[in-house]
């Protein structure tokens, strides 16, 4: 093995005077929660408009964004939520916290997004919501999912934790007619360290969600009216001030990543044994939350070594998500009445992807073209070693 290593990539998160002045602005407002403050309200309006939606609700984090959305969509004990088996665990955890059963289904081997046929096969009379995850910014097949869910009379909830600014056939996330939940956790495409938001296609569901996210209290309540169930999922003013600045950086960053990924993907595809994540061309704007690729047939020990070696050579690499049905937490609350083996058998693609997939932090895609060549050269060298 040579001592080839990649030069430093841009840091993440990125920030500057916009975030700095935003924080001071929130501080000097003298109101640090959303009631009486201006930042959360303004961020909601800006985030909604950016995604072509009429209503955004800012919340504490992406997991809570899913929880609030699911609660508004009627998920609770006795209901089922269909989720991809290859995702971050919050997709199922949010449903399970509400007492629902999370039903994991298989994904597409090329895009790693939920397989519409598997979704259709999993729908029962208890299904309330189908939750596609736009994996790494690649849209799930929204046309097929729209049809399946409207035929079955169940709701569609987009887990858009990777999809800030994404577009499907020219439509922004908020223009697709369904509810969408976002995360602003430290690694996400825009961040305040923690945070989340939900886009709603109509005022009624937004107003319901507002109550749920604020202990059931109406916006101007002075009489301790608690009109519904819920909890405190409110975002604070500092986070919203930072997120307004982060939103203003997003388009520029997406433009760079949209330039870099096709180059990196083509270089990765030339390395024997490496298969980059594919792209459904209908997802015509991809913000690229991760640079993902598979190494089919690799053992888990070897994958760990490869990831460690990439990190040692300056490339922020990670082992991809574990299949959710292979996590203890999944079984401790609200799992379907099946064994791990039964679920694994109906999720053959997840079985492969969760075992052979590696991802790189999106800050690599903010690097130079030269750095894309360096990533590919380092990976080829590591795999040959």
Ligand X SMILES: *Cc1c(COP(=O)(O)O)cnc(C)c1O
Q: How far apart are CA 281 and CA 362, in angstroms?
A: 20
> Is 159 among the residues known to form the active site?
yes
Closer to ligand X by Cβ: residue 87 or 277? 87
User: Toward ligand X, which CB reaches closer, 178 or 183?
Assistant: 183
Please tell me the distance from the alpha carbon of residue 54 to that of residue 383, in angstroms, as a whole number.
Answer: 48
SS3 344: helix
The residue annotated as part of the active site, out of 14, 29, 185, 352, is: 185
> Of all helices (H) and strands (E), which one includes residue 203?
helix 203-213
| Closer Cβ to ligand X, 88 or 233, answer by number | 88
Q: Quote the least distance from Cβ 87 to ligand X, whole Å.
A: 5
Is there a contact between 128 and 100 (Cβ–Cβ < 8 Å)? yes
Choice among 3, 17, 222, 224 that is catalytic: 224
Instruction: Determine whether 224 is an active site residue.
Output: yes
CB of 195 or CB of 276, closer to ligand X: 195
Catalytic one of 9, 50, 86, 88: 88
Crossing angle, helix 237-269 and helix 17-29, to 10 degrees? Answer: 160
Select from 72, 141, 80 the least CA-distant residue to 281: 141
Question: Is 234 a catalytic site residue?
Answer: yes
How long is the chain?
A: 385
The residue among 182 and 313 lying less far from ligand X, judged by its C-beta, is: 182
Q: Which of 134, 164, 172, 188 is catalytic?
A: 188
- Pick the closer one to ligand X by CB: 271 or 291: 291
Question: What stretches of the chain adopt beta strand conformation (E)?
Answer: 55-59, 80-84, 101-105, 127-130, 155-159, 167-168, 171-172, 179-183, 196-200, 275-276, 290-294, 317-319, 357-361
Radius of gyration of the chain (CA): 21
Q: Which residue is nearest to ligand X (CB)?
A: 62
Nearest distance from C-beta of residue 92 to ligand X, angstroms: 10
Q: How far is the CB of 185 from ligand X (least distance, A)?
A: 4
Nearest approach, Cβ of residue 132 and ligand X (Å): 10
Per annotation, catalytic residue among 164, 171, 213, 234: 234
CB of 246 to ligand X, least distance (A): 14
Query: Are 189 and 250 a contacting pair, CB within 8 Å?
Result: yes
How far is it, in rounded angstroms, from Cα 103 to Cα 36? 41
Per the DSSP assignment, residues forming a β-bridge with 290 are 361
Q: CA-CA distance, 59 to 40, in Å (whole number)?
A: 9
Pick the catalytic residue: 51, 97, 172, 217? Answer: 217
Measured in whole angstroms, the distance separating CA 23 from the mean position of its chain's CA atoms is 26
Which residues make up the interface to ligand X (CB under 6 A)? 61-63, 87-88, 90-91, 133, 159, 161-162, 183, 185, 196
- Which three-class secondary structure state does DSSP give residue 232? strand
**Closest separation in Å from C-beta 201 to ligand X:** 20
List, by residue number, the catalytic residues. 88, 159, 162, 185, 188, 217, 224, 234
């Amino acid at each position: 093995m040579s001592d080839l290593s990649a030069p430093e990539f841009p840091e993440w998160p990125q920030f500057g005077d916009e975030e700095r002045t935003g924080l001071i602005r929130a501080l000097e407002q003298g109101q640090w929660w959303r009631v009486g403050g201006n930042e959360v309200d303004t961020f909601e309006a800006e985030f909604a408009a950016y995604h072509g939606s009429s209503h955004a609700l800012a919340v504490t984090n992406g997991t809570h964004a899913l929880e609030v959305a699911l609660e508004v969509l009627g998920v609770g004990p006795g209901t089922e939520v269909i989720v991809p088996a290859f995702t971050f665990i919050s997709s199922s955890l949010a449903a399970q916290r509400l007492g629902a059963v999370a039903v994991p289904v298989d994904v597409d081997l090329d895009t790693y997004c939920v397989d519409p046929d598997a979704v259709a096969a999993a729908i029962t009379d208890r299904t309330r919501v189908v939750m596609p995850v736009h994996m790494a910014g690649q849209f799930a097949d929204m046309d097929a999912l729209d049809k399946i869910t409207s035929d079955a009379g169940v709701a569609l909830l987009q887990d858009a934790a990777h999809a800030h600014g994404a577009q499907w056939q020219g439509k922004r996330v908020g223009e697709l007619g369904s509810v969408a939940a976002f995360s602003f956790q430290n690694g996400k495409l825009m961040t305040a360290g923690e945070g989340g938001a939900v886009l709603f296609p109509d005022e009624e569901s937004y107003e319901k969600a507002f109550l749920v996210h604020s202990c059931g209290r109406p916006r101007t309540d002075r009489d301790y009216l608690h009109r519904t169930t819920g909890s405190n999922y409110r975002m604070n003013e500092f986070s919203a001030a930072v997120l307004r600045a982060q939103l203003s950086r997003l388009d520029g960053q997406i433009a760079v990543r949209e330039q870099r990924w096709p180059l990196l993907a083509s270089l990765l595809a030339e390395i024997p044994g490496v298969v980059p994540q594919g792209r459904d061309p209908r997802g015509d704007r991809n913000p690229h939350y991760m640079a993902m690729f598979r190494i089919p047939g690799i053992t888990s020990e070897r994958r760990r070594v490869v990831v460690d070696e990439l990190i040692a050579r300056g490339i922020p690499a990670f082992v991809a998500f574990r299949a959710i049905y292979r996590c203890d937490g999944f079984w401790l609350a609200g799992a379907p009445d099946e064994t791990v083996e039964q679920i694994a058998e109906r999720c053959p693609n997840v079985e492969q992807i969760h075992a052979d997939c590696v991802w790189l932090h999106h800050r690599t895609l903010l690097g130079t073209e030269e750095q894309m060549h360096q990533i590919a050269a380092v990976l080829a060298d590591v795999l040959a070693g």
